[in-house]
Amino acid sequence: MNTSEARYGGGVTLLLFVFIFLPLLAVLINVIFPGLFFGQIQSSSLGLIGDIFHRPLWKQSLLNSVTLALGTATFGTILGGVLATIRARWNFATARLLDMTAWVLLIAPSFMIAQGWVLFASADGLVHQWLGLTWVTSFIFQPAGLVFVMSLSKFPLAYLAIMAASEWNIRQFGYAARLNGARPFTVWRTVELPLALPSYVAGWTLVFMDSIGDFGLPAALATVYKFPTLTYSIYSAIYQSPVRFDMAGVLAFYLVLILVLAMTLLMVTLRKSRFDFLNARAVKMEKVKPRFAWMYNLSIAVFLFLSLGIPIGTSAAVSLLKQAGGGLNPGNFTLDHYRELFAGQAGDHRLLGYLEGMYHSLAIAAAAALFSMLIGFVVAYMLTFTESRLKPMLQLFSIISLAVPGVVLGIGYIFIWNQKWLEPLGLHLYGTPSLLVIAGIAGAIPYAVRVQLGAFGNLSGTMLKAAAIQGASIFERMRDIVLPMVRQSLLIAILASFGTSVFDLALASMLKPANYSLMPLVIDRAFEFSRYGYATAATVVSCGTVVLIIVLLQAAGRLVFRWLDGNRMR
């Protein structure tokens, strides 16, 4: 490894260590020595780890989180697997709508989806007021109902993982088994299921990790239904008086422990996977039109209405109503909630201005997206085209970044960056927008790295080796060879990072400066204060603005790429 590669590799490794691993390490250290980061060193509190089984709130938080995650992972993977199998084999009109919905739900913040369901299914919600279906309330606001709601928003993780593995036609193995006398069920059990099992386990694990680390659902439910989880109890421990760092540390320890076990399961499964069935004769699945296409279209349409139509449609409807329970009569429609947004007045001194919060959130997300793309570009280059000794560490940090929830990052950042000795160095970042940018980068890095690794995997290293022999530096190779070939993936990485950063409720709640408005907090606080019209109007405008920005940036990117190609041709 030459000096330049060592410099770049060491730089991004240090950044990933500081942004991701160090706050995680701080959380674990705080379990052993609570108060260490605030000059109040106490004796080891390892005994507190066992207290989770004796303290009612701690125990219930752990039980609720595990139950919700296990149920969501199982039901969400079944949904994702069935939909991915149908999508891979059959060609029908609503197939593209299914793909689009999966990507929208993947990016959409869970707290907005959950708020839509609360407004729809609560005792004074739309389904009760308009349709009189009281059973929906009792069904949704129980553990099984929460699993159902969360599965409808988390299934895309399993759907996309299984869909990628379902593209290849493996029916020839089934035909061979049938010729040897195997029954259809035997073929499925002994041939098709073992080959598809790694993708199902990967999808299950991804859904499980995303569900157990989710903060948005319990935050939205807190107004109408008491269902403590690890993430929400960690947040409550930090923002109650007195602050309970011992409780936050223990709960965060168990959350990290569960995530480590899930990641271990994923890695072991992938390591034991068999991919050698993809040989030179492998062909992609050829989609055919089903005999009863209308049944597929109707079923998918109903499913899309449940997963996206109800929560988004409910928010849009409530934003246009004076009273949510006032019915669909002309006198109940209004645009006053939108006027409040753009007038900069919330009508409540407890709510900071929406427009200011929107500006802050967009600016922080833009900075986080840009820097995470640059870091992800260098990480992907080092992992793909170099033999750096730092590759295992880079791989480890990039995987950890995928699993660490925002709540754990947030509490770790409080421990690390709220130190008095950092003030003379100008690095006391807690309570400043700079820390929100750093947290946004840490949260966006998994998307930036994964998107760019996919593009880099299609490139040959021959050109880079030839350029290196000719004396090109690593920066010149990245700028002149790799960058033009993966520019589309860079744009996608920026847009994906931007879309996920702008709505991050967990990090915004834990790290916001005093009297500093952020768009997710404005929406969440309005919802908490029962200002449902204001909250839903802010949701509609925020989502529409972010989608519009992404569409415009995509269009601008295409124009810039064509202009660059035109200049190169001349």
pLDDT confidence of residue 327 = 64
Q: How confident is the model at residue 278 (pLDDT cuts 50, 70, 90)?
A: very low
pLDDT confidence of residue 285 = 57
* Distance between CA atoms of residues 48 and 55, nearest Å: 10
Q: How confident is the model at residue 38 (pLDDT cuts 50, 70, 90)?
A: low
Least confident of 67-76, 262-271, 312-321: 262-271
Contact 482, 459 (CB under 8 A): yes
Please state, for a pLDDT cut of 90, what percent of the chain lies above it: 8
pLDDT tens by residue, 141-196: 888 989 999 999 898 888 877 776 666 555 556 566 666 666 666 766 666 666 67
In 3D space, the residue among 374, 391, 387 whose CA is nearest the CA of residue 465 turns out to be 387
The residue type of 516 is: Y
pLDDT confidence of residue 279 = 45
With a cut of 60, say whether residue 332 has pLDDT above it: yes
Q: How confident is the model at residue 489 (pLDDT cuts 50, 70, 90)?
A: confident
* Distance between CA atoms of residues 11 and 5, nearest Å: 10
Q: How confident is the model at residue 79 (pLDDT cuts 50, 70, 90)?
A: very high
Please state whether 436 falls in left (phi above 0), alpha (psi between -120 and 50) or beta: alpha
pLDDT tens by residue, 408-459: 888 889 888 888 888 888 888 888 899 999 998 988 887 788 777 767 766 7
Placement of tokens 């849009």 in the chain: 316
pLDDT confidence of residue 256 = 84
The residue type of 553 is: L
* Long-range contact set of residues 538-544: C-beta below 8 Å, sequence gap at least 24: 538/341, 538/354, 539/112, 539/115, 539/315, 539/319, 540/315, 540/316, 540/319, 541/338, 541/341, 541/358, 542/358, 542/502, 542/503, 543/108, 543/112, 543/312
* Distance between CA atoms of residues 89 and 286, nearest Å: 7
In 3D space, the residue among 451, 433, 554 whose CA is nearest the CA of residue 493 turns out to be 451
- The 3-state secondary structure of 508-536 reads HHHHCCCCCCCHHHHHHHHHHCCCHHHHH
Torsion of CA 231, 235, 240, 246, to 10 degrees: 70
pLDDT confidence of residue 165 = 64
* Distance between CA atoms of residues 128 and 122, nearest Å: 8
Name 492's Cβ contacts closer than 8 Å, sequence gap at least 6. 451
* Distance between CA atoms of residues 365 and 65, nearest Å: 29
Placement of tokens 């480890």 in the chain: 396
The residue type of 443 is: G
* Distance between CA atoms of residues 331 and 125, nearest Å: 19
pLDDT confidence of residue 280 = 43
User: Average pLDDT in the 50-58 region?
Assistant: 80
Chain-centre distance of CA 423, in angstroms? Answer: 33
More confident site: 567 or 289: 289
Secondary structure (3-state) at 303? helix
With a cut of 50, say whether residue 276 has pLDDT above it: no
With a cut of 70, say whether residue 521 has pLDDT above it: yes
Which span out of 120-124, 301-305, 393-397 was modeled with the highest average pLDDT? 301-305
User: Average pLDDT in the 260-285 region?
Assistant: 62
Name 530's Cβ contacts closer than 8 Å, sequence gap at least 6. 223
Q: Rounded to two decimals, what is the model's pTM?
A: 0.80
Please state whether 419 falls in left (phi above 0), alpha (psi between -120 and 50) or beta: beta
User: Average pLDDT in the 112-136 region?
Assistant: 84
* Distance between CA atoms of residues 399 and 472, nearest Å: 31
pLDDT confidence of residue 67 = 92
More confident site: 275 or 542: 542
Please state, for a pLDDT cut of 70, what percent of the chain lies above it: 83
